[in-house]
A and B are shown apart, each in its own frame.
Chain A
Amino acid sequence: MTEPLHVFKERIVAATASATPLQIRGGGTKDWYGQELRGEVLDTRPYSGIVDYEPTELVITARCGTPLSEIDAALAANNQVLAFEPPRFGGTSTVGGMVAAGLSGPGRQFSGSVRDFVLGADLMDAQGQILHFGGQVMKNVAGYDVSRLLTGSLGTLGLILQVSLKVLPQPFASSTRVFEVDEANAIRLLNEWGGQPLPVSASAWVNGVLTIRLSGAQAAVDAAQKKLGGTELTNGDDFWRDLREQSHSFFADTAAPLWRISLPSMAQPLPLAGTQLIEWGGAQRWYRGDASAESIRAAAVAAGGHASLYRGGDKRVGVFHPLAPAVAKIHRNLKASFDPSGIFNPGRMYSEF
Chain B
Amino acid sequence: MNAPVAPLFSPARQREVVAALKAVVPPHCVLFDEEDTRPYECDGLAAYRQLPMVVVLPENEGQVVAILKACHDLKVQIVPRGAGTGLSGGAMPIADGVVVSTAKFNKIVSMDKYSRTAVVQPGVRNLAISEAAAPYGLYYAPDPSSQIACSIGGNVAENSGGVHCLKYGLTVHNVLRVRVVTIEGDVVELGNAGLDAPGLDLLAVFIGSEGMLGIVTEVTVKLVPKPQQARVIMASFDDVVKGGNAVANVIAAGIIPAGLEMMDKTSSRMVEPFVKAGYDIDAEAILLCESDGTNEEVEEEIGRMSEVLNASGATAIAVSQSEAERLRFWSGRKNAFPAAGRISPDYYCMDGTIPRKRLAEVLLGIAKMEGKYGLRCANVFHAGDGNLHPLILFDANLADEFHRAELFGAEILELCVEVGGTITGEHGVGIEKINSMCVQFSPEEREAFFKVKRAFDPAFLLNPDKAIPSLHRCAEYGKMHVQRGQIKFPDLPRF
Q: Which A residues contact B (CB, under 8 angstroms)?
A: 1-2, 5, 54-59, 79, 102, 108, 112-113, 115-116, 123, 125, 129-133, 135-146, 148-149, 151-153, 156-157, 168-170, 172, 191-192, 194-199, 216-220, 222-224, 262-266, 280, 283-284, 304-306, 308, 320-324, 326-331, 333-334, 337-338, 349-350
Is the CB–CB distance between A137 and B422 below 8 Å? yes
* CB nearest to B158 among chain A residues: A141
Is the CB–CB distance between A79 and B254 below 8 Å? yes
* CB nearest to B196 among chain A residues: A262
Nearest Cβ on chain B to A2's Cβ, whole angstroms: 7
Q: In which size bucket is the chain B interface? A: 35 or more
Nearest Cβ on chain A to B306's Cβ, whole angstroms: 14
Is the CB–CB distance between B199 and A172 below 8 Å? no
Nearest Cβ on chain B to A266's Cβ, whole angstroms: 4
Q: List B contacts of A350 (CB < 8 A).
A: 199
Is the CB–CB distance between A327 and B452 below 8 Å? no
Is the CB–CB distance between B300 and A218 below 8 Å? yes
Is the CB–CB distance between A55 and B252 below 8 Å? yes
Is the CB–CB distance between A144 and B205 below 8 Å? yes
Q: List B contacts of A192 (CB < 8 A).
A: 114
Supposing A139-B353, A141-B425, A141-B429 touch, asked if A305 and B193 sit within 8 A by C-beta, the answer is yes
Taken together as a complex, chains A and B put the C-alpha atoms of A324 and B191 apart, in Å, by 12
* CB nearest to A80 among chain B residues: B254
Taken together as a complex, chains A and B put the C-alpha atoms of A305 and B453 apart, in Å, by 27
* CB nearest to B448 among chain A residues: A131
User: B158-192: which have CB < 8 Å to A?
Assistant: 158-159, 161, 165-166, 169-170, 172-173, 182, 186-190, 192
Taken together as a complex, chains A and B put the C-alpha atoms of A349 and B201 apart, in Å, by 12
Asked if B261 is at the interface (CB within 8 A of a chain A CB), the reply is no
Chain A proximity mask over B475-493: 1 for CB below 8 Å, otherwise 0: 0000000000000000000
Given contacts A137-B386, A170-B254, A195-B138, 13 further A-B contacts (CB under 8 A): A56-B251, A57-B357, A108-B195, A136-B355, A141-B158, A142-B424, A145-B204, A146-B452, A148-B205, A149-B205, A199-B294, A306-B194, A334-B200
Q: Which B residues contact A (CB, under 8 angstroms)?
A: 112-117, 136-138, 158-159, 161, 165-166, 169-170, 172-173, 182, 186-190, 192-202, 204-205, 207-209, 225-228, 248-249, 251-252, 254-256, 293-294, 296-297, 299-301, 353-357, 382, 384-387, 420-429, 433, 437, 440-442, 444-446, 448-449, 451-456, 458, 467-468, 494-495
Is the CB–CB distance between A329 and B186 below 8 Å? yes
Taken together as a complex, chains A and B put the C-alpha atoms of A304 and B452 apart, in Å, by 28
Is the CB–CB distance between B199 and A331 below 8 Å? yes
In-complex Cβ contact of B444 among A131, A140, A172 (8 A) = A131
Supposing A57-B355, A151-B204 touch, asked if A323 and B137 sit within 8 A by C-beta, the answer is no
Taken together as a complex, chains A and B put the C-alpha atoms of A153 and B169 apart, in Å, by 22
Nearest Cβ on chain B to A191's Cβ, whole angstroms: 5
In-complex Cβ contact of B195 among A79, A113, A337 (8 A) = A113
Is the CB–CB distance between A116 and B158 below 8 Å? no
Nearest Cβ on chain B to A130's Cβ, whole angstroms: 7
Nearest Cβ on chain A to B231's Cβ, whole angstroms: 14
Taken together as a complex, chains A and B put the C-alpha atoms of A141 and B166 apart, in Å, by 15
Is the CB–CB distance between B194 and A143 below 8 Å? no
Q: List B contacts of A108 (CB < 8 A).
A: 195
Q: List A contacts of B114 (CB < 8 A).
A: 191-192, 195, 266
Q: List A contacts of B446 (CB < 8 A).
A: 143
Q: List B contacts of A125 (CB < 8 A).
A: 444, 448
Is the CB–CB distance between B296 and A196 below 8 Å? no
Taken together as a complex, chains A and B put the C-alpha atoms of A141 and B86 apart, in Å, by 13
In this complex, which of B255, B445, B446, B456 has the most chain A Cβ atoms within 10 angstroms of its Cβ? Answer: B445
Is the CB–CB distance between A195 and B198 below 8 Å? no
Taken together as a complex, chains A and B put the C-alpha atoms of A123 and B494 apart, in Å, by 12
Is the CB–CB distance between B137 and A139 below 8 Å? no
Q: List A contacts of B204 (CB < 8 A).
A: 115, 145, 148-149, 151
In-complex Cβ contact of A139 among B189, B196, B357, B426 (8 A) = B426
Nearest Cβ on chain B to A57's Cβ, whole angstroms: 6
Taken together as a complex, chains A and B put the C-alpha atoms of A123 and B357 apart, in Å, by 26
